[in-house]
Amino acid sequence: MTLTLVLGGARSGKSAHAQAAAEGAALLGQPVMIATGQAFDAEMAERIARHRAERAPGWRTIEAPLDLAGALDQLHEDDVAVVDCLTLWLTNVMLRDRDPEAEGDALLDALRACPADLWLVSNEVGWGVVPDNALARRFRDEAGRLHQKIAALADKVVLVVAGQALRLKPPA
């Protein structure tokens, strides 16, 4: 099992990077997309449709807006999977008044136990302006803590900016 965390800003190319890497690694099998987004409005439905259209044929999809640990439990040693994305999952957790730290710890346990090769995609949200409301500040802080824990566990960490990947771990 290889765990890769792919971070970047909105529309940075992080999903495309993770998908291409997973397709390259899944030469003999079918890559798996673990999708965390939910279409609560037309704009999000369009984003989800665009992401599906960008994937090559043959991807298997697991919808996991909340039970990400359960989705990882479904994977096998020969699977290659992309989780897209952790920040949408964290949003879902927080909007349902679940404890993000406990959910994050359960996710970390599932990551440690998962036998598949994984690419975890997430938005780096800590570089912008300090949010003007408590919920947004809490989200930014929870995302930062989650990223640090996953990066410590990960074999590789990649930052994608303008479609260009910069390897952070291990150093280039």
Could you report the average pLDDT of every consecutive run of 10 residues in the chain (172 residues)? 96 95 83 91 85 83 96 96 97 96 98 97 93 95 98 98 97 76
2, 45 Cβ separation under 8 angstroms: no
pTM of the model: 0.93
Fold of 3-169: Rossmann fold (3.40.50)
95, 38 Cβ separation under 8 angstroms: no
Among all chains, which residue has been given the structure tokens 């349902």? 96
Q: Please give the pLDDT value at position 29.
A: 76
Q: Is 76 a catalytic residue?
A: no
Selection from 60, 63, 53, 105 nearest residue 84 by Cα: 63
Q: Please give the pLDDT value at position 61.
A: 94
Question: To 10 degrees, what angle do helices 134-153 and 100-113 make?
Answer: 20
90, 142 Cβ separation under 8 angstroms: yes
CA distance 100 to 51: 26
CA distance 120 to 72: 11
Catalytic one of 17, 51, 76, 147:
51
Radius of gyration for the alpha carbons in the chain, expressed in angstroms and rounded: 15
8, 14 Cβ separation under 8 angstroms: yes
Instruction: Please tell me what DSSP assigns to residue 170.
Output: T
User: Could you tell me which residues are beta bridge partners of residue 158?
Assistant: 6, 167
Q: Please give the pLDDT value at position 49.
A: 85
Q: Please give the pLDDT value at position 128.
A: 86
* Residue 140 main-chain phi, psi, to 5 deg: -60, -45
Peptide bond into 114 cis (omega under 30): no
Instruction: Please tell me what DSSP assigns to residue 118.
Output: E
Domain assignments of the chain as residue spans, ordered by start: 3-169
Q: Please give the pLDDT value at position 131.
A: 92
